[in-house]
Structure 1
Amino acid sequence: MNYYEEECYSSFNIKPWLKLRRFFKPYTKKLIGLTILMFVTALMDLSIPLFQKYAVDSFIAKNTMEGLNSFIGVYAAVLITMALAVTLFIRLAIVVEMHIGMDLRKEIFEHLQNLSLSYYNTTPVGYILARTLSDTNKIGSMIAWGLVDVFWSFAYVIGAFIAMFMLNVRLTLIVGLVVPLMAVITVYFQNKILFTSRQLRKVNSKMTASFNEGITGAKTSKTLVIEDKNLMEFKKISSELELSAVNLSRINALYIPIIVFFGSVLTALVLARGGILAMDKIIQIGTLSAFLSYAVNIFEPIQQLARTFAEIISLQANIERVMDLLEKEPLIKDREDVIRVYGDNINPKRENWEEIQGEIEFKNVTFKYPDGDEEVLKNFNLHIPAGTNVAIVGETGAGKSTLVNLACRFFEPTEGEILIDGKDYRERSQLWLHSNIGYVLQTPHLFSGTIKENIRYGNLDARDEDIMEAAKIVSADAIINKFEKGYYSHVGEGGDRLSTGEKQLISIARAILANPKIFVLDEATSSVDTYTEKLIQKGIEYLLKGRTSFIIAHRLSTIKRADIILVVNNGKIIERGTNKELIAKKGHYYNLYTKQFEEERTLEVLQ
């Protein structure tokens, strides 16, 4: 799936910022403190040229040192005050940036826990990570630094014009003619720079993705002999990157000389006119020196204003993306009255939970996927007594997972109802049901950490003895003890230090520790060797005893033991019955069975 980066705003819009205000509201006092510190810093900055004027006019021009000590003391006090203000500002800004970013990430992560499975099926992981990490960092940084910089820049520009006006009105008029022109040029170029930088970042992201695919897919590329194709695509992206970088360099190369030129022109005009006024004794040399400092220094805050305002406009898209994620409603939500009794995912009220038996019944269930128009199930009925083993078979893409996803409430019926122990499962919380389900995936996921920690996820209150017992049941302990650190061995990111079979054994041990009333096996033995499959089958046999189970599998050894077999084709159940009954029908299942029997017999001969 290709997720594009949304186009950024081209003008200021207050709506995204209003959505964000609840995140910086807890830090209002700190933000006010930052603003005050910035105003203090701006005032100190504005006072420096006045000290310069006083030093020239009172000491240098008069060739005297009378009062110099007092001057140095006051000047030093101002510098120390400014240094303290800057130090406090930096410390406070870092705190605000970190806290706002952390609050955003915490709320996003908590919200992600409540989103339905369908969201993760349709949204790339990279897109979610970008919202959670990159966008939140930018927002926190802008609130802590950018917005306060705007206040400083405004304060300095206004203060500088007031100071220049008080020093000399005629010279201020000269500055007033040149500065607006420079401001317009600066705003124009900053927007161009921002737009080009954005294009550069997009192309750079494409290059990173190309690098990633080239490295992770190196083996596939070699087997398909497509190195030339990959190289051509990479060269194309490199050319785009080079073009964007050159365009950015050209804009900067044009912008900087223009600013320097106008700055030099303004300096020359102030010096020329100010020099005449000084020679005519209308103004003092110190006044000219101070005025010149203001005229030159005013360019930086103007550029800062233009740059920050452009970044604020650009950041609005980041805010919208983050808020869009936070406002994303789960496809499946518990009702308020259910939450009051059973709690939610974050604050469960387990004391009110009934013990589950595992009886499942589909009553007149009609279902279509949220993004689809075709009804996958229509008026479907199925009764599964507690403790029944149900095998679901069918070709790849037949829709085997639909029934399981409905039974597990990862999706809900469009019409009809699904009963758990005789009661519509919407009358109880999702967590109540999910806490009683053990799920072993075809490609099981392990969390970063040790083997023991991963098994313990089945029951966080389990003792070490319980963890080891669960591993022994599936004979995983023999494999675990081969590792140097045994149960304390780290599995790596996603369990990448273990083989598929080893991960499946640990995931089954985890399911055993959870002791679920409903068990789902999703083709867990379809990608492992025969020896590992035997170990897995041993664990599965243990799990199936006395539990309602759904088995999505291709292996006959697993299917034949089921109490009922459902044959799925094009999202519909076309046959149902026991292994013996379905073979006798000589229908779709019979053909699948015969084909699978021949494949497994051939495999046994080869082995």
Structure 2
Amino acid sequence: MARNRFDVDEDLESPFDLAHFRRAMVYIRKQKKPMILAFTLSALSAAIGLSAPLILQHVVDVTIPEKAHGALIGWSALTLVTIVVSVILATIRSRIMTRVGQDIIFEIRSDLFRHLQDLPFKYYDDRPQGKILIRVVNYVNSVSDVLSNGIINFILEIVNLIFIAAFMFAVNVKLSLIILAGLPVFLAVMLLIKTRQRRAWQAVSNKSSNLNAYLQESISGIRVTQIFTREEHNEGIFTRLAASFRTVWMRALRYNLLIPFTVDNLSTLVTAAIFLVGLLALGPAEVSFGVILAMSSYAARFWQPILNLSNLYNSFINAVAYLERIFETLDEPVTVTDVPDAKALPPVRGDVAFDNVTFAYDPGLNILENLSFNVKAGESVALVGPTGAGKTTVVNLISRFYNVTEGAIRIDGHDISLVTLRSLRSQMGIMLQDSFIFSGTILDNIRYGKLDATEEEVVAAAKAVCADEFIREFEHGYLTEVNERGSKLSQGQRQLISFARTLLADPRILILDEATSSIDARTERLVQQGLNELLKGRTSFIIAHRLSTVKNCDRIMYVSDKGIAESGSHDELLAKRGLYHRLYTAQKMEA
């Protein structure tokens, strides 16, 4: 459960290995054709650019001494052409790779979102929303360039190094060996910091995730924060998290900056060595000044790909930390899913049976044990009892939001673990305790579970739950825009809109979890009238703490001690003078 805290780092469940990178290659292979074209353009641009030092050598050693002014103009024009062509090819390549990078982002993000929608409730119970959001948005953005431009540039820089080395050795072997002398030093530095650098960027990933999680939590709970004047205290928490992020970021950045620092200094030393050796040791008899200029140019060009490769390595190290998180999310098992040979649940009458059902959210801590009961089609059942006894768990199991630990649940004789989730839930109307309202119009929210519903059907559902009156009081009526979570609506209005959304689906099995908890007594009586018509012919499970709302149910089941402690009609349970009688009497006295 520690992973559900914003101030606790997430340990990776599995270390990064080449298998992760091979999985990333799946997205790259889909962009194979444009990437090959981009690589070809890059190679041509690089090859054309490498001709410039040779032109310079010829101009210094031949054209200028011969005072061939016409030839000098021609060589200058040719140099200009090579620059222009190189820039044009690089620009086309950049546009291609920008599209490739965005396509890769789209593919990864779509796979993540699709997988997140399939994950069970337990996954979201155990994690702050901010730590989930950062993987879908920030981390995917961070890896896209490495998986597109990074691959192309890595291959291209290797090819560049080969081309440059070939040109260098063609001009002068001894000076070429001087340029290569700095490579062992560079490789030693890379090997020295490799492991520390990866750990540093994993720490950045952790602290970024923590900061994002607390920010999301703070925004969601801003009303509570202001009610209890927690602003100063929360600012202190945020400052500590931000400071931790800044500390690990600066540490990781120091490793990143060490590599270009090393390359820049090696390049400078090698260039100086070329001039010293060429002018003092070898002399004009062995190397001309034009050769020295050409080799110094090639030295800068030789170390530039190495610097680029080191920057790519830095980017890869950074991306590894993000790829680990992305693939960890994609590897999260979908525990509530269709079995391989799942069949579609045919249209149901509504018989529901629990057969020795045991369930635990965490191993060894059973919420329900050996629970058995039968509900006939069209019967209305109320679940009452103390908080935490398992009432909501019962209805969540019927909807198969969780899998039972032991036993079976059957609808019309069909084991719900063997039917498709879509065919099961499409025949249920479920209104959970949290009345979530999506951004959009009121019409869109009511139509959310039945997209093909007509406006007349939407209005009819709203009237049935007494929502039509207050909706029409808004300036734009059913087309009134509401914010996410319905911040412009009262809690009771949000609940009524959610109720209408559930009723519109015309379910065979209806589940209402505290459906009237935020509705005043007058409105509740009106809603009850609509419910009485709705419940006819439908199997319904109703959870309510206010017992006055469930008195007319066919059966009331008192959930306690991991099972059903009492069951019967309202009058039968009162006559028993047991747990239900005690609860009902206490509520009457409070009223």
TM-score by length of 2: 0.89
Q: Which moved more, 1:296-305 or 1:234-243?
A: 234-243
Give the match for residue 290 of structure 2.
286
Distance 2:490 2:307 in 1: 57
- 1:446 correspondence with 2:437: yes
Q: In the superposition, relative to structure 1, how do residues 22 and 174 fare at CA in structure 2: closer, same or farther (>3 Å)?
A: closer
Whether contact under 8 Å (2:383, 2:542) holds in the other structure is: yes
- 1:130 correspondence with 2:134: yes
Whether contact under 8 Å (1:519, 1:547) holds in the other structure is: yes
Give the match for residue 577 of structure 1.
568
- 1:361 correspondence with 2:366: no
**C-alpha deviation, 1:9, in angstroms:** 9.5
**Partner amino acid for 2:347?**
E
- 1:381 correspondence with 2:385: no
Aligned residue pairs total 586
- 1:565 correspondence with 2:556: yes
- 1:505 correspondence with 2:509: no
Q: Which moved more, 1:566-575 or 1:372-381?
A: 372-381
- 1:413 correspondence with 2:404: yes
Alignment match of 1:4 (pick from 9, 14, 17): 9
Whether contact under 8 Å (1:8, 1:317) holds in the other structure is: no
Q: Which moved more, 1:229-238 or 1:558-567?
A: 229-238
**C-alpha deviation, 1:312, in angstroms:** 2.3
Q: Percent identity?
A: 33
Alignment match of 1:544 (pick from 508, 518, 535): 535
Give the match for residue 547 of structure 2.
556
Q: Which moved more, 1:460-469 or 1:218-227?
A: 218-227
Whether contact under 8 Å (1:362, 1:382) holds in the other structure is: yes
**C-alpha deviation, 1:448, in angstroms:** 2.2
Q: Which moved more, 1:441-450 or 1:246-255?
A: 246-255
- Show CA shifts across 1:354-403 (max 9, x none): 3221111223x232226322444444321111111110011111111122
Whether contact under 8 Å (1:98, 1:140) holds in the other structure is: yes
- 1:490 correspondence with 2:481: yes
Q: What stretches of structure 2 of length at least 5 have no aligned partner?
A: none
Distance 1:200 1:331 in 2: 31
Q: In the superposition, relative to structure 1, how do residues 241 and 102 fare at CA in structure 2: closer, same or farther (>3 Å)?
A: closer
**Partner amino acid for 2:357?**
T
Give the match for residue 62 of structure 1.
66
Distance 2:195 2:41 in 1: 29
**C-alpha deviation, 1:461, in angstroms:** 1.6
**C-alpha deviation, 1:250, in angstroms:** 6.0
Distance 2:13 2:381 in 1: 51
Q: How does 1:178-217 map to 2 (within 5 A)?
A: 178-185=182-189, 188=192, 195-196=199-200, 199-200=203-204, 202-210=206-214, 217=221
Distance 1:8 1:43 in 2: 45
- 1:22 correspondence with 2:26: yes
- 1:404 correspondence with 2:408: no
Distance 1:319 1:256 in 2: 24
Distance 1:310 1:264 in 2: 22
Q: Secondary structure at the match of 2:481?
A: coil
Give the match for residue 171 of structure 1.
175
**C-alpha deviation, 1:221, in angstroms:** 4.5
**C-alpha deviation, 1:20, in angstroms:** 2.9
Alignment match of 1:429 (pick from 406, 420, 429): 420
Give the match for residue 325 of structure 2.
321
Q: How does 1:253-272 map to 2 (within 5 A)?
A: 259-272=263-276
RMSD of aligned alpha carbons: 3.0
Give the match for residue 105 of structure 2.
101
**Partner amino acid for 1:105?**
R
Give the match for residue 273 of structure 1.
277
Distance 2:309 2:104 in 1: 23
TM-score by length of 1: 0.87
Give the match for residue 588 of structure 1.
579
**C-alpha deviation, 1:256, in angstroms:** 6.1
**C-alpha deviation, 1:514, in angstroms:** 0.8
Whether contact under 8 Å (1:190, 1:306) holds in the other structure is: no
Q: In the superposition, relative to structure 1, how do residues 245 and 424 fare at CA in structure 2: closer, same or farther (>3 Å)?
A: closer
Whether contact under 8 Å (2:443, 2:478) holds in the other structure is: yes
Q: In the superposition, relative to structure 1, how do residues 535 and 422 fare at CA in structure 2: closer, same or farther (>3 Å)?
A: same
Give the match for residue 113 of structure 1.
117
**C-alpha deviation, 1:471, in angstroms:** 1.5
Whether contact under 8 Å (1:210, 1:234) holds in the other structure is: yes
